[in-house]
Amino acid sequence: MKFFLDTADLTEIEEAAAWGVLAGVTTNPTLYARVGGKLTDFENHIKRICDVVGPECPVSAETVAMTRDQIVADGRRLAALAPNVVVKVPTMVEGLAATRTLADDGIRVNMTLCFTVPQAMLAARSGARYISPFIGRFDDISEDGIAQVAQIAEAVGNYDFTDSTVNGEQIEIIAASIRSANHVTQCALMGADVATVPFGVLKKMVKHPLTTAGIESFLNDWEKVK
Ligand code: E4P
């Protein structure tokens, strides 16, 4: 399973990249607003993220347009910022139509805000490169987010879906809206291709009290042999 960082915070991205485990970044309008981002600087900010992570790491930049033509125009502009930009498009009719056009242009799309198997099937058919089912937000309405993502991963895995770009890359499921290390465990067990995690969750994933105690006792004992 690959790890993407779910943030627009450059400091967090730089730190996670230095860990050597980062395979991509996902942003959204809320995450950009959270770091004090302004519309006029948005495209430069996406470029800066792309520079930090390097060309091999996909960086999702979301369009907020609501019509097919506008989504396509935004998507083309965003994709031109850097070769690793992936255009994030919400799951909706106009989004599907735009994804078909963008994907046929060779532009990779991450279809976001996906909550059900039928939505995921449509996203896959539209030529999207990534599908992002949300866990936490589903839990928030007293549904089982993990079970939904597992169903989506299984359903998409039943078919040999490739995206519509020239390379015909295999579609990947990005488990999104992850709120805990336990969510990551469940995603790994179900075989999700990618987990996009907030930096706080990534930091918690490293830790276990027995690991901390073990390091401490090894260091103490090493003092004795000096
Ligand atoms: C995914 O790409 C989204 O940016 C993200 O996971 C949303 O998470 P949230 O529900 O915690 O806002």
Distances (CA, A) of 37 to 31, 42, 194, 225: 9, 7, 26, 53
Q: How far is the CA of 177 from the centre of ligand 1 (A)?
A: 4
Q: How far is CA 25 from the centre of its chain?
A: 6
Q: How far is the CA of 217 from the centre of ligand 1 (A)?
A: 39
Beta carbons within 8 Å of 153's beta carbon, 6+ residues apart? 173, 190, 191, 192, 193
Q: How far apart are CA 129 and CA 111, in angstroms?
A: 8
Residue given tokens 């390097």 in the structure block: 54
Of 151, 161, 163, residue with least CA distance to 110: 163
Residue given tokens 């260091």 in the structure block: 219
Helix, strand or coil, per DSSP, at residue 62: strand
Beta carbons within 8 Å of 133's beta carbon, 6+ residues apart? 114, 115, 120, 148, 149, 152, 173, 174, 175, 176
Bridge-based pairing state of the strands 22-26 and 2-6: parallel
Check residue 4 and report its DSSP letter.
E
H helix count then E strand count, the chain: 11, 8
Pocket of ligand 1 (CB under 6 A): 6, 26, 28, 112, 132, 134, 136-137, 176-177, 196
Out of 2, 5, 6, give the residue to mutate to test ligand 1, the one with the largest number of ligand atoms within 8 Å of its CB: 6
Helix, strand or coil, per DSSP, at residue 21: coil
Helix, strand or coil, per DSSP, at residue 5: strand
Would you write out the chain's pLDDT as a tens digit for each of its 226 residues? Answer: 999 999 999 999 999 999 999 999 999 999 999 999 999 999 999 999 999 999 999 999 999 999 999 999 999 999 999 999 999 999 999 999 999 999 999 999 999 999 999 999 999 999 999 999 999 999 999 999 999 999 999 999 999 887 666 567 889 999 999 999 999 999 999 999 999 999 999 999 999 999 999 999 999 999 999 8
